[in-house]
Structure formats: C-alpha cells, structure tokens
Structure 1
Amino acid sequence: MALSAREPLVPAERLVAEMVPPPRFDGVRFDTYLPDPQQPSQTEAVRVLSAFAESLGDGTGAAPTGRKRWFRRAPKAAAPSGPRGVYLDGGYGVGKTHLLASLWHAAPAAPERKAFGTFVELTNLVGALGFQQTVRTLSGHQLLCIDEFELDDPGDTVLVSSLLARLVEHGVALAATSNTLPGKLGEGRFAAADFLREIQGLSAHFRPLRIDGEDYRHRGLPEAPQPYTDEEVKAAARRTPGASLDGFPTLLGHLSTVHPSRYGALVEGVGAVCLTDVTPVPDQSTALRLVVLADRLYDREVPVLASGVPFDRLFSEEMLRGGYRKKYFRAISRLTALARDGRQLV
C-alpha cells in the first residue's frame, strides 16, 4: 500500500477518545525512565513529577491524606491560587514525552478523566468541537497533558492559552512540554521564561522544571545506517506484512493535502514505512509537515527503511540554523532511531 493513496477522516468523538499516550509511551512509567547519572536534573524531575501526580488526589477534589496538595479544586467563582501545572523545559531527546506520559499514567483519576495529546491534536479538537464544547468536554478532567506545545503560530497560541485559562478555572491540572520559538537560537531549546510569557496570563499556574542532558536516542548507540538501494527497499516492502511503499517526493506532496492532526490516522495499521528517492526537503512548510509525520511514526514505533540521502541531510543548513531548528533536530533524531529499527527488514 502507499501512504500517498490514503485520505484519512477522523470524527470528533474519536479525537476525544484518542487523547491518551501514544503506543510507544503506553507502557512507560517513572520507574522505566533511565536518568543519565551525569545529569542530576533528570533524577530530580522524576522525584518532582512523582510528587506532582500524588498531589492530584482521586480527581474528586479531595486532597490525599497526609500529603500537601499542589492543586486545589477551587469553586468556579473564585480565582484559583498557586501553581496548577508544570512545564518540562529541556532539549530534544532528554525524555520529556516519557516523563509527561508517566505523569498521565501516575495520575490517580480514571483514564476518561485525564487527557494526553499534542498541541496540534488539541487545536484540531477545538476546531472539530468548537471552543465552548471543548471547554465543557475537558473541564471535568483531573489532568491535561500537552506535548510539543507549539509557539510558532500566534493565533493558535492565544486560542490554546484561552482554553487553558478556562480549564484552570474548573480545577484542571496542566502539564506541558514545548518547542522553540521562531528566531530562538543559542542552546537549540526553548527557555521556560519564554513559554510562560507566551501563554498569556497563565505563568502563575506553571512550575518550570528544567531537564538537562543529551539525546538519549544516540547515547552509546551506533551511527545511523546508511540508506539502502531502491531495489532493496522495494523488496523489503513486498515481503513485510503491512508495509507501505512510497516515493519520497510523492509522499511529501500528499502531506500537503492532509491536515497534520490526521497524520496519526494516516499511518494507522502500517507495519513499516518504506521510502525511495529520499531527497532534502524543498521548503520550510514541507519540512514542518515532515516533522509531524516523523513524530507520529515515532509514537507508533513504525520502522522506516529508505533509499536516497541519509536522514541527517533532510534539512538545509539554513533550516538547521533557523528558528525551527529544534523541531528539525528532533525529527532527525527520531527518524534515525526508526531507521535503526528498519534494518531488520533487509
């Protein structure tokens, strides 16, 4: 089959039901996170987030016995006080999504009373349900976890900031990870102060938690495999159950016709993604769509086999120096990990 022949449709009720950690992070827990011994902030993050989860109570508003509550479900008419959320601040590959999903699993509320999704999935939910209905749908939740909070679209940032403000009024606890602002260079990661400033008026509700470290996907692992030939990729696709086979330029063109919120549905049920003629992406819009696809493939642990240029040459030097560079490095990191998994197909 070809991904470029798929046109997924995702009904609104499915968007709500699927706001859970993706398959890669379904089994993660705090005790499966492996902190780098050289980075004490990683061990501290596990400790703080574990206490954060315990402080949430059972989701009914009652505080856990003998424990200090970080979040108090305030009456709707009263302005909530104190931090009601945590922001995980760190570079790509330090395990922020692992920790965010572990927090979701550790929160004591029933699964239907806590939600986990990417920023793109959350904005698409608002588009499908409308703002007020989204507030009503999520306001009864104990916890909302937002991965990859996007700050490069001012309109969407204001929209989600307004949504979070309403949810905080209803006592919903928040947790988020974030991406780089356009124009932010330096460390290649985004500073907590910028996140808090951008989510207008919500800074008092977030406790920044910095997580230092190197990309765990490359820690002690061999170099990424070199691309295979077109013939090897096509042969592997034919003998691999559930594999897709696409020419890379054709797939990039198809991505422009599918909303990024549907990329998860686009690769649903796919056992492996086989790509021929991988070339550097031609422009920024295409590159950003590819980043989202890489995230969804990584979430679902779909191995990738490719011919053409290596994945570390997908993005131009100009892109890797620009404001979206953190996203591009994350995509390279994740595609490289999936390419290692894809070696078994040859």
Structure 2
Amino acid sequence: MTSPQTRSAGELDSLADRNPRVPPQQLVAELVPPPRFSDVRFASYVPSPEHPSQAQAVAGMSAFGGRVLEGGGARGGLAGLFKRRAAPAGAPGIYLDGGFGVGKTHLLSSLYHQVVTEGGRSAAYGTFVEYTNLVGALGFLPAVDALAPNALVCIDEFELDDPGDTVLMSRLMRELVDRGVKLAATSNTLPGALGEGRFAAQDFQREIQALAGQFDVQRVDGEDYRHRGLQPAPAPLPDEEVERVAAARAGATFDDFPAVLAHLAEVHPSRYGAMVGSTTAVCLRGVSTVADQMVGLRLVVLADRLYDRDIPVVASGVPFDAVFTDELLNGGYRKKYLRAVSRLSALAREGAALRG
C-alpha cells in the first residue's frame, strides 16, 4: 500500500469528492456544542476585571440555567407559562450581546452543559444557520416537534441573512416558547437592531420586535475586533509545500481552492459538518479573493464548521485576511466575513505548524 509520504496529488483525499447524505435524525442528534467547546464550563470562563459586565454575564447565564432546571415540562402555551405560580419568573429567553471574541460561545456552551451535563435535562445547541438548515431538511412542523421536547434551545451567532429567515426564526421561536421551551442566544447585535444594514428593517419591524420581546438582554463588554483589528493572517505557503503537508498527514484533504468553492454550491450547508468531519487537515492550493456574495457566504459556513471541529488549514495563494473583497467586508454581512477571516486565519496558524 502506498505510504502517505509518497502519495501523489491524484491519490490524496479531496473535499470536492465528498457529498455526504445526512439523515434528518442525525441533524437533530448533532445539535450539541462543537468539539472546541465540549469541555467548557462557567468556572473556566475568566472575566476581565476591567469589564464588570463579563462577571455579570456569567452570573446572569448561570441564574437563567437555574430557572431552566427549576421549570417543569412542556406547557400548552404562553398563558400556561406565565400564569402558573410555580413557573420561574422572567422572560422565556436570554440574549447574550457582545462584540467579537468576548467569550459568548463559551458562556452559551456552559449554559448547555449546566442544563444537560449537570442538570440531567435535555437541550439543543446549534448556530442560527444550523436551525434554518434543520427546518429546510425536516420541514417546519417536524422541526418544531423535534426541538420541543428540550428544556432549552441554544442559538449561537443569531443572524438574519434575509427576510425569509427573519420570519422563519421568529415563528420557530414563538412555537417553541408556546410549548414551554426556554431559549438562549448569542449575537453581535442587540435584538431590536437585528437586520439593520442588510435589508429594509422597517418592513419587518413587527417580526424583529417579536424576537426582541422574547429575551432578557445580557450585555458582555470587552475589547472587540472593531477596536483592536484582526490578527494578521499567516503568510501562505508555496503550492508544493501544501501538497507535501497533505501527503505526509494521514486523513488530510488536498484541493484546489476554486474546486472547493464550486463543490460547496452542490452540497447543502447542513452537510458541511459531515463533509469535513473525518478530516485531520484541509490543504488548499491557490486560495484567491472571493467577490461573489453567495460564494462568500458558503465559505463562511465552511469556515465555521472547520473552526468548530478545530481542523487546521494549510494554504497557498492569497492570505486569508485578503480572501474577501473590500466590498463584501464593508457590506451588510460584515460581521460574518470578519468572523470567517479571523477563524480561517487562526486555523491557518495551526496549519503552518504542521510543516515540521
């Protein structure tokens, strides 16, 4: 059998050859914190003394978790939720608002573990796009039925990509609250301002305000990317070095960047996680700047799935802080693209260490 060190480019595994079929039941079963956050707890979050809101967020999220554990099973509507004297007081959801890199995902994952690992209750954890993909795969009412048995549903990186998703997520959350499910979400935008800069928010004000009214807001201050700037991406490697790393590392994939971008259009985003799940490193030859919005947003989802699974990226071409055009970076999806640049750059720094 050919050893990894002597494989040619044609013998290497390729992401562009993968098109996994994920059963809907698996999509539901995989609604758990990503491996990067599988062991975090409130106790492992270290609040900055310069930003008291961080310690307040820990206390607020932990208290909310206590309310989830004190609550009973699913109830038959909002009236039942609030009229029963034994029901915990407060809004049915908590919304963790803060800048980039202040630990919101750490806190949301800690809340999940408080409820599931320590409290023995059921919960679901996913990103905003994973829930919209779930609805697309199952249908709306089956998705509600699949999520409703949980005591808590956690929504990370709450985003409004388009008006249809606004209406969809608003309706989904109302249905879950009606069944007694508690909600927790993170975002970089206050709930009343969701959608600003992306579409005519006033046309969907009713839907946006309906979302906002379901959450108590817990602010998390701290230094964010708008003030500190993104860390520079590592220098790209030569093409032959990328191929050498791929050949030497068992489980690594090797692709031309344009081929991966084209393949992403053929795979539903709900399957990106399964597509990269068994990969030990993603090696990309010829990374180039992306100017198309749809291509860019698919790359954002791929970057999130790679980051969740802590998969190093080894790349040649342009550095990842130049992978999106200025037009995309300054548009309505700015936060998504900046997050992707930061995450891809971090994974590329890990990938650069594989050269040895």
Residues 200-211 of structure 1 aligned to structure 2 (within 5 Å): 200-211=209-220
- Residues 1:225 and 2:234 aligned together: yes
**Distance in 1 (alpha carbons) for counterparts of 2:112 and 2:76:** 24
Q: Please identify runs of 4+ aligned residues in structure 1 that moved more than 6 A.
A: none
- Residues 1:32 and 2:40 aligned together: no
Residue range with higher mean Cα deviation, 322-331 or 116-125: 116-125
Of 293, 298, 311 in structure 2, the residue corresponding to residue 302 of structure 1 is 311
Amino acid aligned to 1:294: A
**Distance in 2 (alpha carbons) for counterparts of 1:37 and 1:215:** 16
What's the CA shift for 1:83?
0.5
Q: In the alignment, which residue of structure 2 is the partner of 1:89? A: 97
- Work out whether residues 145 and 175 of structure 1, in 8 Å CA contact, stay in contact via their aligned partners in 2: yes
**Distance in 2 (alpha carbons) for counterparts of 1:39 and 1:88:** 15
What fraction of aligned residue pairs are identical, expressed as a percent?
A: 57
Change over 3 Å in CA distance of 1:236–1:77 after alignment to 2: closer
Q: In the alignment, which residue of structure 2 is the partner of 1:9? A: 21
What's the CA shift for 1:320?
1.5
What's the CA shift for 1:50?
1.1
Residue range with higher mean Cα deviation, 205-214 or 232-241: 205-214
What's the CA shift for 1:134?
2.0
Q: Residue by residue, what CA displacement relative to the aligned partner does 1:56-77 show, whole Å, maximum 9, x if unpaired?
A: 225535xxxxxxxxxxx65537
What's the CA shift for 1:270?
0.2
- Paired residue secondary structure (1:208): strand
- Work out whether residues 92 and 215 of structure 1, in 8 Å CA contact, stay in contact via their aligned partners in 2: yes
Q: Residue by residue, what CA displacement relative to the aligned partner does 1:232-290 show, whole Å, maximum 9, x if unpaired?
A: 11100100111011111111111111111111011011000111111101311111111
Q: In the alignment, which residue of structure 1 is the partner of 2:54? A: 42
Amino acid aligned to 1:123: T
Q: In the alignment, which residue of structure 1 is the partner of 2:180? A: 171
**Unpaired runs of at least 5, structure 1:** 62-72, 179-188
Change over 3 Å in CA distance of 1:30–1:151 after alignment to 2: same
- Work out whether residues 144 and 175 of structure 2, in 8 Å CA contact, stay in contact via their aligned partners in 1: yes
What's the CA shift for 1:327?
0.7
- Work out whether residues 89 and 177 of structure 1, in 8 Å CA contact, stay in contact via their aligned partners in 2: yes
Amino acid aligned to 2:65: A
- Residues 1:114 and 2:123 aligned together: yes
What's the CA shift for 1:195?
3.6
TM-score (norm 1): 0.87
- Work out whether residues 158 and 200 of structure 1, in 8 Å CA contact, stay in contact via their aligned partners in 2: no
- Residues 1:191 and 2:200 aligned together: no
Residues 93-108 of structure 1 aligned to structure 2 (within 5 Å): 93-107=101-115
- Work out whether residues 125 and 134 of structure 1, in 8 Å CA contact, stay in contact via their aligned partners in 2: yes
Q: Residue by residue, what CA displacement relative to the aligned partner does 1:148-184 show, whole Å, maximum 9, x if unpaired?
A: 2221211122112111111101110001123xxxxxx
**Distance in 1 (alpha carbons) for counterparts of 2:290 and 2:99:** 23
- Paired residue secondary structure (1:330): helix
Amino acid aligned to 1:110: G
**Distance in 2 (alpha carbons) for counterparts of 1:152 and 1:208:** 21
- Work out whether residues 144 and 174 of structure 1, in 8 Å CA contact, stay in contact via their aligned partners in 2: yes
Of 51, 54, 69 in structure 1, the residue corresponding to residue 66 of structure 2 is 54
Change over 3 Å in CA distance of 1:135–1:101 after alignment to 2: same
**Distance in 2 (alpha carbons) for counterparts of 1:59 and 1:141:** 12
**Unpaired runs of at least 5, structure 2:** 1-12, 83-89, 196-204
Q: In the alignment, which residue of structure 2 is the partner of 1:240? A: 249
Change over 3 Å in CA distance of 1:313–1:222 after alignment to 2: closer
Structure (1 or 2) with the greater helix fraction: 2
Amino acid aligned to 1:308: G
Amino acid aligned to 1:174: L
**Distance in 1 (alpha carbons) for counterparts of 2:99 and 2:336:** 10
- Residues 1:143 and 2:176 aligned together: no
Q: In the alignment, which residue of structure 2 is the partner of 1:185? A: none
Q: In the alignment, which residue of structure 1 is the partner of 2:337? A: 328
Of 290, 298, 306 in structure 2, the residue corresponding to residue 289 of structure 1 is 298
Q: Residue by residue, what CA displacement relative to the aligned partner does 1:280-309 show, whole Å, maximum 9, x if unpaired?
A: 013111111111110000000001111111
- Work out whether residues 161 and 200 of structure 1, in 8 Å CA contact, stay in contact via their aligned partners in 2: no
**Distance in 2 (alpha carbons) for counterparts of 1:16 and 1:59:** 23
- Paired residue secondary structure (2:157): strand
Amino acid aligned to 1:98: H
- Paired residue secondary structure (1:307): strand
- Work out whether residues 78 and 180 of structure 2, in 8 Å CA contact, stay in contact via their aligned partners in 1: no
